[in-house]
Amino acid sequence: MNPTDLINVENPGELISFLMPIILVALAIFFLVMAIVLSYHWRKYGVGKVRAAIFMWTYLIGGIVFLSVMVTSKLSY
Amino acid sequence: MVDLHPEEKIVLVVRRHWFVFLGEVAALILAALLPLAFPIFSNYVYDLGGQYLSESQITAVTTFVSAAWLLLLWIIFFIIFTNYYLDTFIITNQRVIDVDQVNLFARDIATAPLGSIQDVKIEILGFVATMFNYGNLHLQTAGGDKEIIIRGIQNPEYVKKLIMSTHQSEVVPHNVT
Protein backbone atom coordinates (compact mmCIF):
# COMPACT_ATOMS: atom_id res chain seq x y z
CA MET A 1 0.00 0.00 0.00
CA ASN A 2 1.26 3.45 -0.86
CA PRO A 3 1.55 5.66 2.28
CA THR A 4 -0.26 8.46 0.48
CA ASP A 5 -3.30 6.18 0.21
CA LEU A 6 -3.69 6.56 3.97
CA ILE A 7 -4.52 10.22 3.61
CA ASN A 8 -7.36 11.27 1.43
CA VAL A 9 -6.46 14.91 0.77
CA GLU A 10 -9.74 15.45 -0.99
CA ASN A 11 -11.37 14.90 2.37
CA PRO A 12 -9.80 17.29 4.95
CA GLY A 13 -11.65 15.44 7.69
CA GLU A 14 -9.42 12.40 7.25
CA LEU A 15 -6.30 14.52 7.01
CA ILE A 16 -7.16 16.26 10.28
CA SER A 17 -7.89 12.93 11.90
CA PHE A 18 -4.47 11.71 10.75
CA LEU A 19 -2.61 14.84 11.96
CA MET A 20 -4.23 15.24 15.39
CA PRO A 21 -2.49 12.32 17.16
CA ILE A 22 0.85 13.21 15.55
CA ILE A 23 0.64 16.81 16.82
CA LEU A 24 -0.52 15.57 20.22
CA VAL A 25 2.34 13.10 20.66
CA ALA A 26 4.95 15.57 19.32
CA LEU A 27 3.84 18.30 21.73
CA ALA A 28 3.65 15.86 24.66
CA ILE A 29 7.23 14.70 23.99
CA PHE A 30 8.44 18.32 23.66
CA PHE A 31 6.64 19.17 26.92
CA LEU A 32 8.27 16.29 28.81
CA VAL A 33 11.76 16.96 27.39
CA MET A 34 11.48 20.61 28.41
CA ALA A 35 10.32 19.54 31.89
CA ILE A 36 13.57 17.60 32.29
CA VAL A 37 15.72 20.41 30.83
CA LEU A 38 14.09 23.11 32.95
CA SER A 39 14.22 21.14 36.21
CA TYR A 40 17.89 20.34 35.50
CA HIS A 41 18.60 24.08 35.14
CA TRP A 42 16.66 25.02 38.27
CA ARG A 43 18.48 22.48 40.41
CA LYS A 44 21.94 22.95 38.87
CA TYR A 45 22.01 26.75 39.11
CA GLY A 46 20.98 26.98 42.71
CA VAL A 47 17.23 27.60 42.70
CA GLY A 48 16.07 26.48 46.15
CA LYS A 49 14.24 23.16 46.51
CA VAL A 50 10.90 24.76 47.39
CA ARG A 51 11.00 27.28 44.54
CA ALA A 52 12.14 24.66 42.05
CA ALA A 53 9.23 22.46 43.17
CA ILE A 54 6.76 25.36 42.78
CA PHE A 55 8.09 26.11 39.26
CA MET A 56 7.98 22.45 38.32
CA TRP A 57 4.43 21.82 39.55
CA THR A 58 3.13 25.01 37.94
CA TYR A 59 4.74 23.99 34.66
CA LEU A 60 3.42 20.42 34.89
CA ILE A 61 -0.13 21.30 35.97
CA GLY A 62 -0.52 23.94 33.23
CA GLY A 63 0.88 21.62 30.59
CA ILE A 64 -1.24 18.66 31.71
CA VAL A 65 -4.39 20.83 31.56
CA PHE A 66 -3.64 21.82 27.95
CA LEU A 67 -2.74 18.25 27.00
CA SER A 68 -5.98 16.95 28.57
CA VAL A 69 -8.01 19.47 26.55
CA MET A 70 -6.19 18.28 23.41
CA VAL A 71 -6.90 14.62 24.21
CA THR A 72 -10.57 15.35 25.00
CA SER A 73 -11.10 17.26 21.76
CA LYS A 74 -9.33 14.50 19.80
CA LEU A 75 -11.66 11.91 21.32
CA SER A 76 -14.73 14.00 20.61
CA TYR A 77 -13.66 14.60 17.00
CA MET B 1 24.21 29.62 42.09
CA VAL B 2 27.97 30.24 41.91
CA ASP B 3 30.89 28.86 43.89
CA LEU B 4 31.96 31.31 46.56
CA HIS B 5 35.45 31.68 47.98
CA PRO B 6 36.07 30.86 51.65
CA GLU B 7 34.86 33.75 53.84
CA GLU B 8 33.00 35.26 50.90
CA LYS B 9 29.49 36.42 51.73
CA ILE B 10 26.70 37.43 49.39
CA VAL B 11 25.64 41.02 50.01
CA LEU B 12 22.96 41.33 47.32
CA VAL B 13 21.45 39.28 44.50
CA VAL B 14 19.63 41.37 41.94
CA ARG B 15 17.74 40.50 38.77
CA ARG B 16 16.42 42.44 35.86
CA HIS B 17 13.29 44.45 36.69
CA TRP B 18 9.97 42.61 36.33
CA PHE B 19 8.84 45.21 33.82
CA VAL B 20 11.70 44.18 31.50
CA PHE B 21 10.53 40.56 31.89
CA LEU B 22 6.96 41.67 31.15
CA GLY B 23 8.21 43.33 27.97
CA GLU B 24 9.77 40.02 26.92
CA VAL B 25 6.56 38.06 27.48
CA ALA B 26 4.23 40.73 26.05
CA ALA B 27 4.32 39.06 22.64
CA LEU B 28 3.40 35.73 24.29
CA ILE B 29 0.45 37.33 26.11
CA LEU B 30 -0.84 38.77 22.84
CA ALA B 31 -0.32 35.44 21.12
CA ALA B 32 -2.25 33.69 23.92
CA LEU B 33 -5.25 35.90 23.15
CA LEU B 34 -5.29 34.73 19.55
CA PRO B 35 -7.64 31.73 20.15
CA LEU B 36 -10.23 34.22 21.43
CA ALA B 37 -10.47 35.44 17.85
CA PHE B 38 -11.81 32.05 16.67
CA PRO B 39 -15.48 32.94 17.31
CA ILE B 40 -15.03 36.09 15.21
CA PHE B 41 -13.99 33.94 12.25
CA SER B 42 -16.35 31.07 13.09
CA ASN B 43 -18.76 31.82 10.22
CA TYR B 44 -15.89 31.79 7.77
CA VAL B 45 -14.56 28.51 9.24
CA TYR B 46 -18.02 26.87 9.07
CA ASP B 47 -18.42 28.00 5.45
CA LEU B 48 -15.00 26.62 4.60
CA GLY B 49 -15.15 23.32 6.46
CA GLY B 50 -18.91 22.83 6.67
CA GLN B 51 -19.09 20.61 3.62
CA TYR B 52 -16.51 18.16 5.07
CA LEU B 53 -16.95 18.45 8.83
CA SER B 54 -19.90 18.60 11.16
CA GLU B 55 -20.30 21.52 13.55
CA SER B 56 -19.12 19.44 16.51
CA GLN B 57 -16.04 18.33 14.57
CA ILE B 58 -15.15 21.94 13.77
CA THR B 59 -15.55 22.83 17.45
CA ALA B 60 -13.30 19.88 18.40
CA VAL B 61 -10.61 20.95 15.91
CA THR B 62 -10.62 24.60 17.01
CA THR B 63 -10.41 23.51 20.67
CA PHE B 64 -7.55 21.15 19.82
CA VAL B 65 -5.61 23.83 17.92
CA SER B 66 -6.20 26.41 20.68
CA ALA B 67 -4.96 24.01 23.38
CA ALA B 68 -1.90 23.05 21.29
CA TRP B 69 -1.13 26.73 20.69
CA LEU B 70 -1.47 27.56 24.41
CA LEU B 71 0.68 24.58 25.42
CA LEU B 72 3.42 25.75 23.06
CA LEU B 73 3.24 29.28 24.52
CA TRP B 74 3.24 27.83 28.04
CA ILE B 75 6.51 25.99 27.34
CA ILE B 76 8.07 29.10 25.73
CA PHE B 77 6.97 31.20 28.71
CA PHE B 78 8.82 28.89 31.11
CA ILE B 79 11.95 28.99 28.94
CA ILE B 80 11.87 32.83 29.01
CA PHE B 81 11.13 32.81 32.75
CA THR B 82 14.05 30.45 33.42
CA ASN B 83 16.40 32.69 31.44
CA TYR B 84 15.12 35.69 33.39
CA TYR B 85 15.35 33.97 36.79
CA LEU B 86 18.86 32.60 36.29
CA ASP B 87 20.17 35.88 34.88
CA THR B 88 21.50 37.46 38.07
CA PHE B 89 23.95 40.04 39.30
CA ILE B 90 25.57 39.15 42.62
CA ILE B 91 27.50 41.46 44.91
CA THR B 92 29.63 39.76 47.54
CA ASN B 93 32.01 41.24 50.09
CA GLN B 94 34.90 40.38 47.74
CA ARG B 95 33.71 40.74 44.15
CA VAL B 96 30.81 41.26 41.78
CA ILE B 97 29.53 38.39 39.66
CA ASP B 98 27.46 38.92 36.53
CA VAL B 99 25.66 35.72 35.49
CA ASP B 100 24.28 36.20 32.01
CA GLN B 101 21.89 33.39 31.07
CA VAL B 102 21.90 33.95 27.31
CA ASN B 103 19.60 31.00 26.65
CA LEU B 104 19.02 27.52 28.11
CA PHE B 105 22.30 26.22 26.76
CA ALA B 106 24.48 29.33 26.90
CA ARG B 107 25.66 30.88 30.13
CA ASP B 108 28.20 33.65 30.51
CA ILE B 109 29.71 34.44 33.92
CA ALA B 110 31.90 37.52 34.46
CA THR B 111 33.50 38.36 37.79
CA ALA B 112 35.46 41.36 38.97
CA PRO B 113 37.10 41.83 42.38
CA LEU B 114 35.74 44.86 44.21
CA GLY B 115 39.27 46.26 44.33
CA SER B 116 39.50 46.36 40.56
CA ILE B 117 36.34 48.44 40.08
CA GLN B 118 37.31 51.95 39.08
CA ASP B 119 34.03 53.49 38.08
CA VAL B 120 30.34 52.69 38.44
CA LYS B 121 27.91 54.36 36.08
CA ILE B 122 24.14 54.02 35.94
CA GLU B 123 21.75 54.85 33.12
CA ILE B 124 18.02 55.28 33.56
CA LEU B 125 16.70 55.91 30.09
CA GLY B 126 13.16 56.95 29.27
CA PHE B 127 9.84 57.63 30.97
CA VAL B 128 8.96 54.00 31.80
CA ALA B 129 12.41 53.25 33.24
CA THR B 130 12.18 56.37 35.42
CA MET B 131 8.67 55.48 36.63
CA PHE B 132 9.54 51.86 37.42
CA ASN B 133 13.06 52.65 38.59
CA TYR B 134 15.18 50.36 36.44
CA GLY B 135 18.20 50.92 34.24
CA ASN B 136 21.65 49.85 33.15
CA LEU B 137 24.70 49.55 35.33
CA HIS B 138 28.20 49.96 33.88
CA LEU B 139 31.16 48.74 35.86
CA GLN B 140 34.55 49.92 34.65
CA THR B 141 37.31 47.66 35.92
CA ALA B 142 41.05 48.11 36.03
CA GLY B 143 43.24 46.41 33.47
CA GLY B 144 42.44 47.54 29.99
CA ASP B 145 39.05 48.54 28.74
CA LYS B 146 37.04 45.84 30.48
CA GLU B 147 33.50 46.88 31.23
CA ILE B 148 30.68 44.85 32.72
CA ILE B 149 27.21 46.02 31.68
CA ILE B 150 24.10 44.80 33.48
CA ARG B 151 20.97 45.82 31.63
CA GLY B 152 17.48 46.46 32.98
CA ILE B 153 18.51 46.07 36.62
CA GLN B 154 16.05 47.09 39.33
CA ASN B 155 16.91 50.09 41.51
CA PRO B 156 20.33 50.82 39.90
CA GLU B 157 21.04 53.77 42.18
CA TYR B 158 20.78 51.60 45.29
CA VAL B 159 22.97 48.92 43.67
CA LYS B 160 25.58 51.53 42.80
CA LYS B 161 25.57 52.87 46.38
CA LEU B 162 25.89 49.34 47.73
CA ILE B 163 28.87 48.56 45.49
CA MET B 164 30.57 51.80 46.58
CA SER B 165 29.87 51.21 50.28
CA THR B 166 30.99 47.57 50.11
CA HIS B 167 34.13 48.70 48.31
CA GLN B 168 34.75 51.28 51.04
CA SER B 169 34.19 48.86 53.91
CA GLU B 170 35.86 45.74 52.49
CA VAL B 171 38.64 46.92 50.16
CA VAL B 172 39.85 50.34 51.33
CA PRO B 173 40.83 49.24 54.90
CA HIS B 174 43.04 46.48 53.43
CA ASN B 175 44.78 48.94 51.10
CA VAL B 176 45.46 51.42 53.92
CA THR B 177 47.17 48.91 56.21
- Whether residue B2 contacts residue B99, with contact meaning beta carbons closer than 8 Å, is answered with yes
What are A8-40's pLDDT values in tens digits? 566 777 788 888 999 999 999 999 999 999 998
User: pTM for this one?
Assistant: 0.82
- Answer yes or no: do B79 and A34 touch at CB < 8 A: yes
- Cβ neighbours around A31 below 10 Å, total: 20
Q: Where are the domains of chain A?
A: 9-76
The pLDDT tens digits along chain B (177 residues) read 677 888 888 889 999 999 999 988 999 999 999 888 877 777 777 776 667 778 788 888 888 999 999 999 999 999 999 999 999 999 998 889 999 888 888 888 888 888 888 889 999 999 999 999 999 999 988 876 678 889 999 999 999 999 999 888 876 666 655
Q: How far, in Å, CA of A41 to CA of B82, rounded?
A: 8
- Which residues in A lie closer than 8 A to residue B81 (C-beta atoms)? 55
Q: What angle do CA A50, A56, A60 make, to 5 degrees?
A: 145
Closest CB to B1 among A13, A30, A46: A46
**Interface confidence (ipTM) of the complex:** 0.85
Please state which of the ranges A3-7, A39-43, A67-71, B35-39 shows the lowest mean pLDDT: A3-7
The DSSP secondary-structure symbol of A9 reads T
B18 CA: distance to closest CA in chain A (Å) = 17
